[in-house]
Amino acid sequence: MEPIESRYAEEEAPSLFHKAAKGSWTCTICALLAMLLPIGALKDILAFGFIGVGLVLGLVALSGIPRYGTKGILIPALIGVLLNGGYGYIGITNFNEARRRTIEAREQREEQSRLMIQINSTMG
């Protein structure tokens, strides 16, 4: 029986940093697919988790460049970091804007309630 040959017999197997670079942009795709799920707020948490993991994987991959060189690491890691960073920035700014609007609406409702109580107390 002949030994099974690895597909990496002639070249070195991909390092952890090569795998992290690929995982970085793959997490972007997973985050976009997670946003298609019909499960409410859980999809946002899942997508934001993928974005965070993808960003960390991209940064880990970039840290391996001094040891393994740029081949197979630089482009996938940069794509992952830029896309995940961009989507993360958009998500955080959208969250902050929605929070600001919610607080303003609550303050308006409270002001209207105070005015109604004041009107009722002067009439009655």
Domain spans in the chain, listed from the N-terminal domain onward? 16-123
Separation CA 9–CA 96 (nearest Å): 51
Average pLDDT value over all residues in the chain? 88
Q: Is the pLDDT higher at 90 or at 8?
A: 90
Q: Who wins on pLDDT, 26 or 38? A: 26
pLDDT of 62 reads 94
Nearest to 49 by CA among 59, 35, 36: 35
> Which residue is associated with the tokens 């993360």?
88
pLDDT of residue 43: 87
pLDDT of residue 83: 94
Residue 124's pLDDT is 64
Q: Which residues contact 85 (CB under 8 A, 6 or more apart)?
A: 55
The answer to whether residue 21 scores a pLDDT higher than 60 is yes
Tell me the pLDDT band of 8, cut-offs 50, 70 and 90: low
Cα torsion through 102, 108, 110, 113, rounded to 10? -140
Q: What is the pLDDT of residue 105?
A: 93
- Counting residues of the chain whose pLDDT is more than 70, the rounded percentage is 90
